[in-house]
Amino acid sequence: MIQSHQKHYAAANAPAFGIASATVTVYADGIASACVSVYATDNQREREQVIGIQVELQSFCADPYRIERDKLIEIEKQSGMNRARSSANRRKALENYLQTEGLTLKDYDDLKAKAEDPWETDAAGNIILPKLVVEAMLVATCHRATSAIRPTSPDMVRTVIRTSPWRTDATPDMARQWERFAVVNAGTGAKLSNQRGLRRNAYIGANPPIGDGTKPVTATGTIDINPTMVKPDTLKKAIEWAGEWVGIGASRKMGWGRFTLQGFTVN
């Protein structure tokens, strides 16, 4: 029987939002393993500030890469359906592969529907801007903003700034489709064809760079900060700047995702 001994160590350098601790287990055969945990103290929670955010989205373009999309691609690759030359052979190849995996065509159709759904919604059916999307906007802002309005370094954003998803007053049935043609390139960048590929993305917003637009969209959420690490005034200036020059969501370089900060309430 292998015996073990455990010791608990307090970390010398505690992170901004918590205290790190390590439990080291040493086994009889000399192998050691360590488990590090981070937790927040009551005093640190008291030092945190919750900031209420409200923005008006001029436009928001959704282009998520979901887990279901990855699974769908793997099924289509492994089945060989895309190498078949006729619709009947493609269907046969797909059915044969699904059968070996214990799946049905309905499972495939459900997976495809989830993969192609562009929106995250809350329980009430309102579109939300996922936490990951908000964080990506803040990271891009910290990469591009000048030091005067940069709240923190880009690699520290997810450590010292904690954001919620932003809930909008829009629903999926209000969205429209942005269609355009794009050059089809290989992974090396080489052009594969003179024929361009049709691309479609769902969008919401009253003033998109391309298209007729929908009604104005308001989004609300919260951002938690530790004021010893991030100054609220600097964060406010950064978000205002991001709304004009960075944007949120997909296709930001093409002018999508611009917004105006309407509310910044420090609680």
| Burial class (CB within 10 angstroms; exposed 0-12, middle 13-18, buried 19+) of 257 | buried
Position 47 confidence tier, pLDDT thresholds 50, 70, 90 = low
Four-point Cα dihedral 172, 176, 182, 184, nearest 10: 30
Predicted local confidence at residue 2, as pLDDT: 42
- Torsion from C-alpha of 134, 138, 144, 145, nearest 10 degrees: 130
Whether the Cβ atoms of residue 165 and residue 129 lie closer than 8 Å to each other: yes
Mean pLDDT to the nearest integer, 166-179 = 95
- Tally Cβ neighbours within 10 Å of residue 235: 25
Tell me the chain's radius of gyration from C-alpha atoms: 24
Overall average pLDDT of the 10-24 stretch: 45
Structure tokens at 263: 């509310």
State mean pLDDT over 45-60: 87
Q: If pLDDT is split at 50, 70 and 90, which confidence band does 11 have?
A: very low
Q: What is the pLDDT of residue 148?
A: 94
* Spatial distance between the Cα atoms of 151 and 226, rounded to a whole number of angstroms: 11
The H-or-E segment that residue 179 falls in is strand 176-182
Say whether pLDDT at 259 is over 70.
Answer: yes
Averaged pLDDT, 110-136: 96
Average pLDDT over residues 235-243: 98
Q: What contacts 24+ positions apart, CB below 8 Å, involve 114-120?
A: 114/66, 114/68, 115/66, 115/68, 115/69, 115/71, 115/72, 117/66, 118/62, 118/63, 118/64, 118/175, 118/201, 118/202, 119/62, 119/172, 119/175, 119/202, 120/64, 120/165
* pLDDT, tens digit (0-9, with 9 covering 90-100), for 148-162: 999 999 999 999 999
On the question of pLDDT at 245 being above 80, the answer is yes
Mean pLDDT of the chain: 85
- Please, which pLDDT band fits residue 79 given cuts at 50, 70 and 90? very high
More confident residue, 74 or 2: 74
Question: Mean pLDDT over residues 92-100, rounded?
Answer: 94
Average of per-residue pLDDT across 248-261: 95
**pLDDT at position 153:** 95
Q: Are 257 and 247 spatial neighbours (Cβ–Cβ below 8 Å)?
A: yes
